[in-house]
Amino acid sequence: MKALIVIDVQNDFLPGGSLAVPKGDEVIPIINELIPAYSLVVATQDWHPANHQSFASQHPDQQEFDAILLNGTEQVLWPDHCVQGTFGAEFAPSLKLNSISAIFRKGMNKSIDSYSGFYDNQKSQNTGLTGYLKDRGITEVHLCGLAADFCVYYSALDSLNEGFGTAIVSKATRAIDKSEFMEKKNNFIQLGGKLI
């Protein structure tokens, strides 16, 4: 049984949003078309408190997109994005949510970022996604959404580690930085992941 995981298709990651992924909006009609092909579809939602430590605004001496050590883990400092309860954190209005059976929120602990839909970046807590999928007999996971080089990629690595056959649907994802995704994609393929 295969599931589609729709990663972070939220207003802040779309053109006009605070952390816009170039051409991120192009994935929406493609995902809407993909959804009916899967018996199980779940979504993730980046869902930060306003004082999240991944925000450059919380580090007055640093610039956006700088990398720092945050509690011992490398952290890119992002523009404020996907703040709980704001328009930017909402799913894209044109994304067809009706047949999405569950939403897994992440990034709520202000001290630890969470790119993957399965675990935070320190692997100290899981979201319950693995259990949800395994309970429903899922053996194969397909991923789409935003951003290819961060949340889609790290979710895909965790999916492999959790023992799911794992594929990224390449036409249904876009990267913040294309060359970053090229390198990460090669790593994912070497680890047994597929691009479809």
Of these partners, ligand VGL, Zn ion, none, which one is at the site of residue 151 (CB under 5 to 8 Å by kind)? ligand VGL
| Rounded CA separation 42/102 (Å) | 5
Shorter beta-carbon distance to ligand VGL: residue 6 or 146? 146
| Rounded CA separation 75/65 (Å) | 9
Shortest distance (Å) from residue 108 CB to Zn ion: 11
Of these partners, Zn ion, ligand VGL, none, which one is at the site of residue 4 (CB under 5 to 8 Å by kind)? none
Task: Check binding of 120 to Zn ion (CB under 5 A).
Answer: no
Centre a 10 Å sphere on the Cβ of residue 91 and count the other Cβ atoms it contains.
Answer: 18
Burial (CB count <10 Å: 0-12, 13-18, 19+), residue 61: exposed
Shorter beta-carbon distance to Zn ion: residue 151 or 169? 151
| Rounded CA separation 71/188 (Å) | 26
Shorter beta-carbon distance to ligand VGL: residue 40 or 82? 82
Q: Which of 139, 145, 157, 152 is nearest to 2 (CA)?
A: 139
Task: Check binding of 149 to Zn ion (CB under 5 A).
Answer: no
| Rounded CA separation 97/110 (Å) | 27
Shortest distance (Å) from residue 67 CB to ligand VGL: 12
Pairing of strands 194-195, 165-174: parallel
Shortest distance (Å) from residue 134 CB to Zn ion: 26
Write out the residues near ligand VGL by the rule CB under 6 A.
8, 13, 46, 78, 115, 146-147, 150-151
Active site residues: 8, 106, 151
Residue nearest to Zn ion (CB): 46
Residue 143 pairs in a beta bridge with 5, 168
Task: Check binding of 46 to Zn ion (CB under 5 A).
Answer: yes
- Contacts with Zn ion by CB under 5 A lie at 46, 107
